[in-house]
Structure 1
């Protein structure tokens, strides 16, 4: 059964379709969005090898002319070099501004494609076809697009909303278990930041969902997308409540930067999981969050195979000063001071601006050593 979630943004509104077997219907679903049957597909080479045949055939059956631009999997593709190669390829295809660009793959592909679409000819519409759990529940929805810089993750980008998101649950059957767990971190985040009942459901159903039970995956994805759609509709440009979706990300992005965005070492979802646990522990250290909620949040992460960082990477290069330096480049910071997403308990996250730097330094030193 297909779920359809609306993202209400006035003239930029769109829907997210979630269901099994949607790649085979993609041509019919995407064709009504087009002024002429012409698209360019930017695809993760691994995802395309696995699922591109079905998708491409569906477009062809709908009489859509398509060209393929493949990119390498991994965070290394979110770079200036990749952006230049992709935009030059798009220009060589002589796409018109009324044509479509399709992102086919995980979060890296969606971020890079969305950014390229947003700046090529000052904006060409694009469609997200996320093929990983993390992309289906998080990065494909909301219009954040970016590449990485030497100073940190996602620092160069634009807000550019997709015209449509097609999330086929069938693609998840080919995901490695590690990538399913990484995607689950973003699902669990929705419960941790603002929905205690959904958190309780996640805690109870993580093992079955991660084992591939379609009904549980479909429910978790649908709830996550609905929650994100509500938040994005209220705050498209992250001026307020949308910042809550960054729970765990300031800490997590710092770890990713230190390992050079090497996903073989640390997946984004793993970094977010570690960051969420640290946000709960720091909140407790500041007298904001009860210890029992810290322990319960860590229990939920461990139930999904997402232990905190020292267990993921024993002996990693986690120098507190290096972590703090990486955190100092976070996009949410204001007036030279840190902004963190903290919590008063499970389901009660809030934005804290002007966080005391020395308190963070002291916490990092103690937390990394433990």
Structure 2
């Protein structure tokens, strides 16, 4: 059988007007055990309150002034702005005002997913899915750091005039004395990959058992932070402020469930990656890593359960990266706490 789904959504906002999105979905039951599915859709994300109306606070943030040791067009534009050829930046930080931007607009996206769903006829409870995904985001909301604000301004003061007006220099020393860092609609990002899932659910000695494997193979991940800048290919890299884009990630879970108790064991896998900043032979890349977690639960009543568990059972340390921040690792991806245990009580109302 062949089924189709068509949907559209219209929304009108007082802050940035109206938006319309659509969705077209198809499913084809090829045979009893195999189904083909696909969805083409558009979407948008409205700015978060903090991105649009967040309060302002000032911080001393690491900023590189491109007028120091400048060459070519940047040197000429710095000189035109009154910054001497022998200018030397005083320190490595600039007082930066960080907050929301009332002018920021929604992000927009186009998505495509195509996949197969297989339900085994010869083993009850065994199923698998494989899905290809392709997502492109335009006008992505991004916060341009101080170093990029200055570099863009002096690369092309006309095209990036908004950035040239977002900082001030001392009238005599020409040091940057203040800088505004606000969210803007500037970036685009494209990602594609394949999601895999294999699941088996059965029973053993009056216990419900489940094995669940989820994996993602990243095929492509690229972005352009700002118009006119180079397109960055992020596949297989760890970036300094956007996390890591390993080609493979996976989670394998084992569940055993009884009437009044249950246990869950999980293995998390993160594939190899290279440091986007390069660096020396030590710490310029990281190996694949496995984390093991376990949890047990006892159901005191239908509404109350007691659970205890251990995360990172084998106390796996975060991999070392030399060119990074003070943490010397990717704090957005890897476990920084080591082995740890917990006890929790859950109550349903």
TM-score, length basis structure 2 = 0.23
Higher-Rg member (1/2): 2
- Structure whose residues are more often strand by fraction: 2
- Structure whose residues are more often helix by fraction: 1
TM-score, length basis structure 1 = 0.22
